[in-house]
Amino acid sequence: MPRVRHFHHLDPQTRERLFLHAPQPLGPDEDRVVLAVALGATLYVPATRSDLADIVLRRSAEGVCSMVLDLEDAVADDQVEFALLNAVDALDRLATLGGSRLQLFVRVRAAADLRRIAELLTTGARVLTGFVVPKFGSVTGGEFLDELAAASDRLGKHLYAMPVLESPELVHRETRDDELARIGELLAERRDQILAVRVGATDMCGTFGIRRDRDLTIYDVRVVADAIAAIVNYLGRSDDTGHVITGPVWEYFADHERMFRPTLRATPFEEHDEVRFRQQLVSRDLDGLLREIALDRANGIQGKTVIHPTHVAAVHALSAVTHEEYHDALDILGADGAGGVRASGYRNKMNEMRPHRNWAEKTLVRAKVFGVTNEGITFVDLLTALAVR
C-alpha cells in the first residue's frame, strides 16, 4: 500500500491556515485501527470502466484516500468476467505507473474470485490493500476469509477483508441476534484479517422494498436503523472485541458542475459574498449527506461508502478533529486516572474523565489521520477549501 495522507492535495499555505496539526502520512505497517479510520470516504467505481487505472490516479490526486473496484452490484451479470480481468489489468498498470496514494480494494462476488485475482495478478499485488466481501454471513464468511489467507500467502503480503453486513438474516429481528453473535465469533477468530466492517443499507432497505428519499437519512428508516444499532452493539464496542464500522452509502447526488467547476473557477471570493457562498456550499444538495454523516458519528460509525466523488469532501471535512475536541481529549487523557469531572477549557461543557476516556482515545486516532483544525476553523472552512481546490 502506498503512503496515505489526508488533505495531501491542498497547498502548504492552505494546510497551515486550516490545521493546528496536519494529518500524518500513514504507511502499510500502521496499526490496523488507524488504517481503518483512514479509509474516510471510500469511493466505489465499477470495474468495467475502460479507463479504470486512470480514474484511480485522478481520484487519488483529488484527495480520495480509499477506493473499491467493484465486481458486484455495479456490474451486470454478463460482464463479470470482463470486470475481473479489467480490475487485474488496472492493478498491474497502477503498480507500473505509481502515483496513487490510497488504500485500494476489490469487491468480489464469490470466494473463488479472490483465488483467481491472486493467480492473475503480477506487479498489481503491490497496490492492492484487500477485498470487500458482500453479503458476509456466519455461514459463508469463513470461506471468504480462507481464500483471503491463501491469496495473502500467494502474493506475499498481508491482505485485509472488509465484510459488508447486509443480509436478510441481519435485518430480520428473529434471526439478527444469533447471526450477529456468530459473525462476531468468526471475526474475533480472524481479527488480523479484518480492516473494518461495512454496512450495506441499500440491500437492507431492499429486503422490505424500501428506498429512502433524499430528505431522509438512513436513521429515519427504522427497520434499518435498528439493524445498524445492533451491528454497533455487537461489533463496535470500545474494547478488544470491537471493530471500526463504516457508514452506509448516501445514494443521492446532483450535478455539481455548475457550482464546483464554473462558479468556483471564476474566483468565487471576488465575485460572490463569502458568507453567502459558504451557505450555498453547505446547503445545496449536500444538507442530507452532511446530516447523515453527523448521525453516523453520533452512532459510533466512522467513514462512509460513497458512490460519487463530490461526496468525498463532505466526509473528510467532517472527519477532521476540531481545536475544541482535541483539547478536550488531551485534558481527559491527561487526568491521573482517579476519575472526576472538570469543566472544558472552552467553558461550555463538562468532561468526565472515566466515561469520556474511550471517546478521547478515538479522537486522537482521528486527529492523527485527519488532522486538528486551528481555533475558529470549522468544517465549512475545510469544505470550502476542498471545493475551491
262-303 pLDDT, tens digit each: 344 444 444 445 566 566 655 556 788 999 999 999 999 999
CB 238 within 8 A of CB 362: yes
Reduced to 3 states, what is the DSSP secondary structure of residue 208? coil
pLDDT along the chain (389 residues), means of 10: 88 97 94 98 96 96 97 92 97 90 96 97 96 97 98 97 97 97 98 98 96 91 97 94 96 57 42 56 72 96 95 96 96 79 79 90 98 95 85
Domain chopping of the chain, boundaries: 26-254+285-319, 323-370
- State residue 266's pLDDT score: 40
Residues 170, 176, 177, 183, Cα dihedral to 10°: -30
pLDDT of residue 168: 96
Q: What are 343's strand-pairing partners?
A: 350
Its CATH class, for the domain covering 26-254+285-319, is alpha beta
Q: What pLDDT, on the 0 to 100 scale, is given for residue 263?
A: 40
In this prediction, residue 335 carries a pLDDT of 74
Give the per-residue pLDDT at 53: 97
Closest CA to 384 of 308, 272, 252, 303: 272
Strands 372-373, 19-21: pairing is: antiparallel
User: How far apart are the C-alpha atoms of 172 and 167, rounded to whole Å?
Assistant: 9
Query: Of 145, 147, 101, 156, whose CA–CA distance to 123 is shortest?
Result: 156
Residue 327: the pLDDT is: 95
Paired strand residues for 194: 161
Which amino acid is located at 275 in the chain?
A: V
Q: According to the model, what pLDDT value does residue 99 have? A: 74
